[in-house]
Amino acid sequence: MEKINNFANAIKQLRKSKGITLDQISDSCKIKKSYFEKMESGDFSFKPNVYIKLFLKEYLKYIDFEKSENIMQEFDSVSNINPIDIDLTFMPLTDEEDLNYNNEDNSLESKDYDPKQIATIIGVIIIIIFTYRIISTLVS
C-alpha cells in the first residue's frame, strides 16, 4: 500500500512541477477531474484496472509524454496489476455517470465526413429529383 501511495505522490508532484492543473488535464482528456483526484490520492480501486490504466495513460501523456511508458511500467510493478497487452484507447463506457459526461466536441460541426459519403448522398438526391421530374412529366 505504501508503494502505491508513493507512486500517487510522485505523479502528483510531477504534475505540479510542470504547473499543470487537474482541470487542464480533465478538459484536454475529457475524463472527469474526480478520477484524477482519486488517482493522485492513491485510490486506484474506483474503476476496473483497464480503465485505471487508460486514465493514467492519458494523464501521463498530458504531463510528460516522454516518460509515460516508464511510469506505466512502474505503476504495473507497484499495483500488482498484470500488464494488459491491448490498446486501451477505444474501451467502451460502462457506467451511466460516464455516459452523461458533457462532451462539447461531440457536435456535428466537429465530425469529419468521408468525401465518398457526401458524393453518395448528393447522388441519391439527384436521382430522387430526376425520378420525380420524370414521373410528374408522365402524369401531366
- Tens-place pLDDT, residues 76-98: 777 765 544 444 455 555 555 55
Amino acid at 134: I
Closest CA to 21 of 72, 29, 73, 53: 29
pLDDT at 126: 97
pLDDT at 123: 96
Question: Distance between CA 81 and CA 127 in Å, rounded?
Answer: 58
Residues in the chain: 140
Which pTM value belongs to this model? 0.53
Place of cell 477505444: 90
For residue range 23-72, list pLDDT tens digits in order: 999 999 999 999 999 999 989 888 888 898 889 889 988 887 677 777 77
pLDDT at 69: 75
> What sign has the CA pseudo-torsion 110, 111, 115, 121?
negative
Indicate the class that CATH gives domain 2-92. mainly alpha
pLDDT at 85: 44
> What sign has the CA pseudo-torsion 91, 94, 97, 102?
positive
Cell reading at 118: 457526401
